Amino acid sequence: MLDLNDLYYFHAVAAHGGFTAASRVTGTPKATLSKRVAQLEAQLGVRLLERTTRHLRLTEVGRAVFDQAETMLEGAEGAQAVAAQAQTEPNGIVRLSCPQGLLDELINDLLPGFLTRYPRVRVQVKIIDRTADLVEDGVDVALRARSSLDADPNLIVRRLGQVRGILVASPSFLEAVRHPITIDTLPQMPMLSGMHIHEEVNWDLTGPDGEIRKIRNRPRLICSSFVVLRTSAIAGLGVTVLPEYAAAPAFARGELVHLLPGWYTPHGIIHAVFSSRKGLVPAVRVLLDYLAGAVPDRLATCGQLANEANAPA
């Protein structure tokens, strides 16, 4: 096998137009360069350089070998750059947009772990409840939760997890009702709901066998904040729908129970959008990687808590 160092020395001599110039640039003695090039020619069985007292030029074969050597050196430099980048600790600021409802009880629980792992990275969180525009809003990554993945051809999408809404109520509320709540009696219950255009709201629920029910009601409380809905449900004011991750803390404390397990609102897909995979700075890349691992783990834990908090039938 060829000694790749010989190719390096040959490339240096040819690129700099002679042994003297190559010696000056590389710091390798001229005699060593001459010996290594001669050794390479002997191994290949061809002459690579035509030498005169004043000039040095590549032979036809020498030109082809030179081109291959240049490709080899470029690849080596690229490998070195990749390794250097991997060793560089991510730093700088990442600008992240997130809806309030997704931030509460999910992303805010995960950010401390990320910042602890990457102490040189700073995160600026912008709470944006509409569809964030990466350019106009000045963000690197936008988090979204929708029924389908973002289809904008100018954006790259990374799926983070799937979430569903569940029915919850407090133990004190269920005790006051004094009879089991079923999917048929649910519309008669006092409700707490997210924001809607009209005073009457519709909850689309899918059952264990794929049955779909539209629950119509005039809620006692209408609010876009999961925190407010959860607090009101804990106070025994009625039934509400929360994402599993928003209900999990109250499940763990016994403040809420999972009502009508098996009935859920349509799934939402939590995903991150950003402008391009190519050229992502390390700080943005590690945040995306971190969320891709942490969000599914958190959702799985919340789902388990929901299963353990089922209300008695």
**Of 217, 185, 183, residue with least CA distance to 198:** 217
Confidence category of residue 152, pLDDT binned at 50, 70, 90 = confident
Average pLDDT over residues 165-194: 92
Same topology between domain 4-87 and domain 92-161+269-303: no
Quote the CA–CA distance of 11 and 70 in Å, as a whole number.
Answer: 7
Q: Is domain 165-265 in CATH 3.30.160.340, yes or no? A: no
Confidence category of residue 33, pLDDT binned at 50, 70, 90 = confident
pTM confidence score: 0.67
Top pLDDT among 148 and 161 is at: 161
CATH class of the domain whose range is 4-87: mainly alpha
pLDDT for 213 beyond 80: yes
Q: Taking the domain 92-161+269-303, which CATH number applies?
A: 3.40.190.10
Average pLDDT over residues 21-47: 86
How do the domains of the chain map onto residue ranges? 4-87, 92-161+269-303, 165-265
